[in-house]
Amino acid sequence: MEFQHSQASHCESGVMSTMLRHQGLPISEPMAFGLSSALSFAYLPIVKINGLPLVAYRMPPKFIIKGLQKPLGLKMRFETFGKPEDGTRRLDELLAAGHIVGMQTSVFWLPYMPEDLRFHFNAHNVLAYGRDAASGDYLLSDPVFDTPMRCAPDALQKARFAKGALAPKGLLYYATGKPQTPDWSVVIPKALKKTVRIMETPLPIIGVRGIRSLAKAIERLDANTPAASKMFIGQVVRMQEEIGTGGGGFRFIYASFLQEAAELLARPRLNELSEALIEIGDEWREFALFAARMIRDREPLAPGKLADQLRRIAEHEQAFFRDLKRAA
Protein backbone atom coordinates (compact mmCIF):
# COMPACT_ATOMS: atom_id res chain seq x y z
CA MET A 1 0.00 0.00 0.00
CA GLU A 2 1.36 3.41 -0.98
CA PHE A 3 2.05 5.61 2.04
CA GLN A 4 -0.15 8.69 2.50
CA HIS A 5 0.86 11.55 4.75
CA SER A 6 -1.74 13.29 6.93
CA GLN A 7 -1.53 16.47 8.96
CA ALA A 8 -2.91 16.15 12.49
CA SER A 9 -3.53 18.21 15.59
CA HIS A 10 -1.20 16.23 17.83
CA CYS A 11 1.89 14.21 17.02
CA GLU A 12 1.29 10.87 18.77
CA SER A 13 -2.40 10.51 17.93
CA GLY A 14 -1.64 11.71 14.40
CA VAL A 15 1.17 9.20 13.93
CA MET A 16 -1.03 6.35 15.16
CA SER A 17 -3.99 7.35 12.98
CA THR A 18 -1.70 7.43 9.94
CA MET A 19 -0.06 4.12 10.87
CA LEU A 20 -3.41 2.38 11.40
CA ARG A 21 -4.72 3.69 8.11
CA HIS A 22 -1.61 2.37 6.37
CA GLN A 23 -2.26 -1.01 8.03
CA GLY A 24 -5.77 -1.09 6.59
CA LEU A 25 -7.88 0.24 9.48
CA PRO A 26 -9.08 3.80 8.81
CA ILE A 27 -9.37 5.46 12.23
CA SER A 28 -9.49 9.21 12.74
CA GLU A 29 -7.09 11.05 14.99
CA PRO A 30 -9.85 11.81 17.55
CA MET A 31 -10.80 8.12 17.66
CA ALA A 32 -7.15 7.14 18.23
CA PHE A 33 -6.90 9.73 21.00
CA GLY A 34 -10.17 8.85 22.70
CA LEU A 35 -9.94 5.09 22.35
CA SER A 36 -6.55 5.15 24.11
CA SER A 37 -7.97 7.25 26.98
CA ALA A 38 -5.24 9.82 26.52
CA LEU A 39 -7.06 12.88 27.87
CA SER A 40 -5.82 13.94 31.30
CA PHE A 41 -4.14 16.69 33.29
CA ALA A 42 -0.98 16.61 35.39
CA TYR A 43 1.01 19.21 37.29
CA LEU A 44 4.40 17.62 38.00
CA PRO A 45 6.68 19.99 39.95
CA ILE A 46 9.38 17.31 40.34
CA VAL A 47 9.71 16.84 36.55
CA LYS A 48 11.48 19.76 34.93
CA ILE A 49 11.31 20.95 31.32
CA ASN A 50 13.80 23.75 30.70
CA GLY A 51 14.17 24.03 34.48
CA LEU A 52 10.46 24.58 35.15
CA PRO A 53 7.68 22.18 36.26
CA LEU A 54 6.02 19.96 33.68
CA VAL A 55 2.35 20.65 33.03
CA ALA A 56 0.68 17.99 30.89
CA TYR A 57 -2.79 17.92 29.37
CA ARG A 58 -2.63 14.32 28.16
CA MET A 59 -1.22 11.02 29.36
CA PRO A 60 2.57 10.39 29.12
CA PRO A 61 4.44 9.67 25.88
CA LYS A 62 3.72 6.23 24.35
CA PHE A 63 0.37 6.03 26.19
CA ILE A 64 -1.62 6.44 22.96
CA ILE A 65 0.58 4.02 21.06
CA LYS A 66 0.33 1.32 23.72
CA GLY A 67 -3.28 2.11 24.60
CA LEU A 68 -4.53 1.23 21.11
CA GLN A 69 -3.02 -2.25 21.08
CA LYS A 70 -5.61 -4.08 23.16
CA PRO A 71 -8.86 -2.59 21.77
CA LEU A 72 -7.66 -2.99 18.16
CA GLY A 73 -5.80 -6.29 18.50
CA LEU A 74 -2.75 -4.41 17.25
CA LYS A 75 0.65 -6.00 17.71
CA MET A 76 3.51 -3.51 18.04
CA ARG A 77 7.21 -3.77 18.69
CA PHE A 78 9.19 -1.11 20.57
CA GLU A 79 12.98 -0.81 20.44
CA THR A 80 15.49 1.49 22.13
CA PHE A 81 19.26 1.58 21.74
CA GLY A 82 22.33 2.26 23.82
CA LYS A 83 24.36 3.45 20.83
CA PRO A 84 23.11 5.94 18.21
CA GLU A 85 24.73 4.02 15.36
CA ASP A 86 22.78 0.90 16.35
CA GLY A 87 19.53 2.85 16.28
CA THR A 88 20.29 4.25 12.83
CA ARG A 89 21.26 0.84 11.49
CA ARG A 90 18.01 -0.68 12.78
CA LEU A 91 15.91 2.08 11.26
CA ASP A 92 17.52 1.48 7.89
CA GLU A 93 16.84 -2.27 8.16
CA LEU A 94 13.18 -1.73 8.92
CA LEU A 95 12.69 0.77 6.10
CA ALA A 96 14.43 -1.57 3.69
CA ALA A 97 12.01 -4.32 4.77
CA GLY A 98 9.04 -2.11 3.88
CA HIS A 99 7.95 -1.01 7.37
CA ILE A 100 6.75 2.46 8.25
CA VAL A 101 8.47 3.31 11.52
CA GLY A 102 7.34 5.60 14.34
CA MET A 103 10.06 7.44 16.25
CA GLN A 104 10.30 9.63 19.34
CA THR A 105 12.47 12.67 18.69
CA SER A 106 13.57 16.03 20.07
CA VAL A 107 11.88 19.03 18.50
CA PHE A 108 15.05 21.08 18.92
CA TRP A 109 17.22 18.96 16.62
CA LEU A 110 14.80 18.59 13.70
CA PRO A 111 16.18 21.08 11.17
CA TYR A 112 12.91 21.54 9.28
CA MET A 113 11.18 22.88 12.40
CA PRO A 114 10.66 26.68 12.38
CA GLU A 115 13.05 28.48 14.72
CA ASP A 116 10.30 29.65 17.07
CA LEU A 117 9.18 26.04 17.65
CA ARG A 118 12.64 24.56 18.20
CA PHE A 119 13.14 24.07 21.92
CA HIS A 120 14.28 21.13 24.04
CA PHE A 121 11.22 18.88 24.09
CA ASN A 122 12.06 15.21 23.60
CA ALA A 123 8.67 13.58 23.03
CA HIS A 124 7.78 14.57 19.47
CA ASN A 125 6.61 11.65 17.32
CA VAL A 126 7.20 11.30 13.59
CA LEU A 127 6.93 8.48 11.04
CA ALA A 128 9.72 7.42 8.70
CA TYR A 129 8.39 5.85 5.52
CA GLY A 130 11.45 5.75 3.27
CA ARG A 131 14.85 7.11 2.35
CA ASP A 132 15.98 9.06 -0.69
CA ALA A 133 18.52 6.95 -2.57
CA ALA A 134 20.35 9.95 -4.03
CA SER A 135 20.71 12.25 -1.02
CA GLY A 136 20.35 9.73 1.80
CA ASP A 137 17.71 11.94 3.47
CA TYR A 138 15.00 10.22 5.46
CA LEU A 139 11.44 10.75 4.27
CA LEU A 140 9.34 11.72 7.27
CA SER A 141 5.65 12.13 7.94
CA ASP A 142 5.53 14.75 10.69
CA PRO A 143 1.90 15.41 11.73
CA VAL A 144 2.71 19.07 12.46
CA PHE A 145 3.10 19.80 8.74
CA ASP A 146 0.73 19.55 5.81
CA THR A 147 3.35 17.94 3.54
CA PRO A 148 6.03 15.26 4.13
CA MET A 149 9.44 16.40 5.34
CA ARG A 150 13.04 15.39 4.65
CA CYS A 151 15.76 15.06 7.28
CA ALA A 152 19.49 14.43 6.91
CA PRO A 153 20.79 11.28 8.67
CA ASP A 154 23.02 13.15 11.15
CA ALA A 155 20.23 15.48 12.20
CA LEU A 156 17.71 12.68 12.66
CA GLN A 157 20.16 10.64 14.70
CA LYS A 158 20.80 13.66 16.95
CA ALA A 159 17.04 14.19 17.38
CA ARG A 160 16.48 10.52 18.25
CA PHE A 161 19.25 10.43 20.85
CA ALA A 162 18.83 13.81 22.53
CA LYS A 163 19.57 13.96 26.25
CA GLY A 164 17.47 15.38 29.07
CA ALA A 165 13.92 14.89 30.34
CA LEU A 166 11.93 12.32 28.36
CA ALA A 167 15.11 11.32 26.49
CA PRO A 168 13.95 9.15 23.55
CA LYS A 169 16.96 6.77 23.57
CA GLY A 170 16.40 6.15 19.88
CA LEU A 171 12.90 4.76 20.45
CA LEU A 172 11.30 3.36 17.34
CA TYR A 173 8.09 1.38 17.02
CA TYR A 174 6.26 -0.42 14.25
CA ALA A 175 3.33 -2.76 13.69
CA THR A 176 4.03 -6.50 13.51
CA GLY A 177 0.45 -7.49 12.70
CA LYS A 178 -2.75 -6.10 11.20
CA PRO A 179 -5.25 -4.30 13.47
CA GLN A 180 -8.84 -5.51 13.70
CA THR A 181 -12.07 -3.55 13.49
CA PRO A 182 -13.26 -3.60 17.10
CA ASP A 183 -16.68 -4.06 18.66
CA TRP A 184 -17.37 -0.37 19.24
CA SER A 185 -20.11 -1.10 21.78
CA VAL A 186 -17.46 -2.71 23.99
CA VAL A 187 -14.27 -0.71 23.45
CA ILE A 188 -15.73 2.81 23.53
CA PRO A 189 -17.49 2.53 26.92
CA LYS A 190 -14.34 0.99 28.39
CA ALA A 191 -12.28 3.90 27.07
CA LEU A 192 -14.75 6.45 28.47
CA LYS A 193 -14.67 4.87 31.93
CA LYS A 194 -10.87 4.76 31.93
CA THR A 195 -10.65 8.47 31.12
CA VAL A 196 -13.07 9.27 33.93
CA ARG A 197 -10.96 7.25 36.39
CA ILE A 198 -7.84 9.17 35.35
CA MET A 199 -9.48 12.58 35.78
CA GLU A 200 -11.14 11.64 39.09
CA THR A 201 -8.03 10.11 40.66
CA PRO A 202 -7.40 11.10 44.30
CA LEU A 203 -3.77 11.97 43.52
CA PRO A 204 -3.33 15.71 44.13
CA ILE A 205 -1.26 16.38 41.01
CA ILE A 206 -3.36 14.43 38.47
CA GLY A 207 -6.74 15.10 36.90
CA VAL A 208 -9.14 17.70 38.28
CA ARG A 209 -7.17 17.84 41.54
CA GLY A 210 -4.05 18.55 39.51
CA ILE A 211 -5.70 21.62 37.98
CA ARG A 212 -6.44 22.88 41.47
CA SER A 213 -2.84 22.19 42.54
CA LEU A 214 -1.56 24.26 39.62
CA ALA A 215 -3.95 27.06 40.64
CA LYS A 216 -2.41 27.04 44.13
CA ALA A 217 1.11 27.14 42.68
CA ILE A 218 0.26 30.12 40.48
CA GLU A 219 -1.47 31.89 43.35
CA ARG A 220 1.75 31.62 45.39
CA LEU A 221 3.75 33.46 42.71
CA ASP A 222 5.04 36.84 43.84
CA ALA A 223 3.95 39.77 41.67
CA ASN A 224 6.91 41.68 43.14
CA THR A 225 9.34 39.32 41.38
CA PRO A 226 7.83 39.57 37.90
CA ALA A 227 10.66 37.92 35.95
CA ALA A 228 10.47 34.62 37.85
CA SER A 229 6.68 34.68 37.96
CA LYS A 230 6.41 35.31 34.22
CA MET A 231 8.82 32.43 33.55
CA PHE A 232 6.55 30.08 35.49
CA ILE A 233 3.37 31.35 33.83
CA GLY A 234 5.06 31.27 30.44
CA GLN A 235 5.95 27.62 30.94
CA VAL A 236 2.30 26.79 31.63
CA VAL A 237 1.20 28.61 28.46
CA ARG A 238 3.91 26.98 26.36
CA MET A 239 3.00 23.51 27.60
CA GLN A 240 -0.65 24.30 26.85
CA GLU A 241 -0.41 25.96 23.46
CA GLU A 242 2.90 25.11 21.82
CA ILE A 243 3.86 21.56 22.85
CA GLY A 244 1.62 19.20 20.94
CA THR A 245 -1.90 20.54 21.08
CA GLY A 246 -2.18 21.75 24.63
CA GLY A 247 -5.03 22.01 27.10
CA GLY A 248 -7.80 23.44 24.96
CA GLY A 249 -6.74 21.54 21.87
CA PHE A 250 -6.78 18.17 23.56
CA ARG A 251 -10.28 18.92 24.87
CA PHE A 252 -11.39 19.71 21.32
CA ILE A 253 -9.93 16.44 20.02
CA TYR A 254 -11.73 14.49 22.74
CA ALA A 255 -14.95 16.35 21.93
CA SER A 256 -14.62 15.13 18.32
CA PHE A 257 -14.11 11.61 19.65
CA LEU A 258 -17.36 11.91 21.63
CA GLN A 259 -19.18 13.00 18.47
CA GLU A 260 -17.91 9.92 16.63
CA ALA A 261 -18.78 7.73 19.60
CA ALA A 262 -22.32 9.17 19.73
CA GLU A 263 -22.88 8.15 16.11
CA LEU A 264 -21.30 4.69 16.42
CA LEU A 265 -23.23 3.86 19.60
CA ALA A 266 -26.42 5.81 18.78
CA ARG A 267 -26.10 7.75 22.06
CA PRO A 268 -27.17 11.40 21.60
CA ARG A 269 -26.07 12.19 25.17
CA LEU A 270 -22.44 11.91 24.07
CA ASN A 271 -23.08 14.67 21.53
CA GLU A 272 -24.37 16.91 24.31
CA LEU A 273 -21.26 16.18 26.38
CA SER A 274 -19.11 16.97 23.36
CA GLU A 275 -20.60 20.47 23.26
CA ALA A 276 -19.91 20.92 26.98
CA LEU A 277 -16.28 19.92 26.51
CA ILE A 278 -15.86 22.35 23.62
CA GLU A 279 -16.92 25.13 26.01
CA ILE A 280 -14.29 23.95 28.51
CA GLY A 281 -11.70 23.95 25.75
CA ASP A 282 -12.62 27.56 25.02
CA GLU A 283 -12.06 28.38 28.71
CA TRP A 284 -8.56 26.89 28.54
CA ARG A 285 -7.81 29.06 25.51
CA GLU A 286 -9.11 32.15 27.31
CA PHE A 287 -6.85 31.33 30.26
CA ALA A 288 -3.83 31.05 27.93
CA LEU A 289 -4.70 34.35 26.24
CA PHE A 290 -5.08 36.17 29.56
CA ALA A 291 -1.80 34.70 30.84
CA ALA A 292 0.02 35.68 27.65
CA ARG A 293 -1.20 39.26 27.97
CA MET A 294 0.26 39.40 31.49
CA ILE A 295 3.58 38.02 30.30
CA ARG A 296 3.75 40.70 27.59
CA ASP A 297 2.76 43.47 30.05
CA ARG A 298 -0.54 44.12 28.28
CA GLU A 299 -2.31 43.29 31.54
CA PRO A 300 -1.05 43.83 35.12
CA LEU A 301 0.64 40.74 36.52
CA ALA A 302 -2.05 39.18 38.75
CA PRO A 303 -1.36 35.51 39.60
CA GLY A 304 -4.48 35.40 41.78
CA LYS A 305 -6.74 36.12 38.80
CA LEU A 306 -5.13 33.30 36.80
CA ALA A 307 -5.58 30.97 39.75
CA ASP A 308 -9.27 31.87 39.92
CA GLN A 309 -9.67 31.07 36.22
CA LEU A 310 -8.09 27.67 36.75
CA ARG A 311 -10.37 26.90 39.67
CA ARG A 312 -13.42 27.67 37.52
CA ILE A 313 -12.06 25.36 34.83
CA ALA A 314 -11.53 22.66 37.46
CA GLU A 315 -15.14 22.98 38.61
CA HIS A 316 -16.43 22.66 35.06
CA GLU A 317 -14.18 19.68 34.29
CA GLN A 318 -15.29 17.97 37.50
CA ALA A 319 -18.95 18.36 36.51
CA PHE A 320 -18.19 17.20 32.96
CA PHE A 321 -16.47 13.99 34.04
CA ARG A 322 -19.24 13.21 36.52
CA ASP A 323 -21.71 13.46 33.63
CA LEU A 324 -19.46 11.39 31.37
CA LYS A 325 -19.27 8.69 34.04
CA ARG A 326 -23.07 8.42 34.03
CA ALA A 327 -23.19 8.35 30.23
CA ALA A 328 -20.52 5.65 30.00
- pLDDT by residue (tens digit) across 25-38? 999 999 999 999 99
- Tell me the sheet residues that pair with 151: 138
Strand extents, DSSP E, 90-153: 101-105, 124-131, 138-141, 149-151
* Domains of the chain listed by start with CATH number: 11-175 (3.90.70.10), 184-327 (no CATH)
> What's the pLDDT score for residue 115?
86
> What's the pLDDT score for residue 125?
95
Inter-residue contact 45 to 22 (CB < 8 Å): no
The 10 Å Cβ neighbour count of residue 133 is: 7
Predicted TM-score of the model (pTM): 0.92
Question: What's the one-letter identity of residue 94?
Answer: L
Q: Which secondary structure element, helix H or strand E, spans residue 45, and what is its range?
A: strand 39-49
Pairing, β 124-131 against β 52-58: unpaired
Inter-residue contact 273 to 324 (CB < 8 Å): yes
Inter-residue contact 177 to 22 (CB < 8 Å): no
The 10 Å Cβ neighbour count of residue 82 is: 9
**Ranges in the chain, pLDDT < 50:** none
> What's the pLDDT score for residue 247?
60
> What's the pLDDT score for residue 222?
87
Q: How close are the terminal C-alpha atoms of the chain, in Å?
A: 37
> What's the pLDDT score for residue 242?
61
Separation CA 22–CA 130 (nearest Å): 14
> What's the pLDDT score for residue 25?
95
> What's the pLDDT score for residue 165?
79
Share of the chain above pLDDT 70, in %: 98
**3-state DSSP percent of the chain in helix, strand and coil, to 5:** 55, 15, 35
Question: What's the one-letter identity of residue 131?
Answer: R
- pLDDT by residue (tens digit) across 44-91? 998 887 788 889 899 988 999 999 999 999 999 999 999 999 999 999
Inter-residue contact 128 to 101 (CB < 8 Å): yes
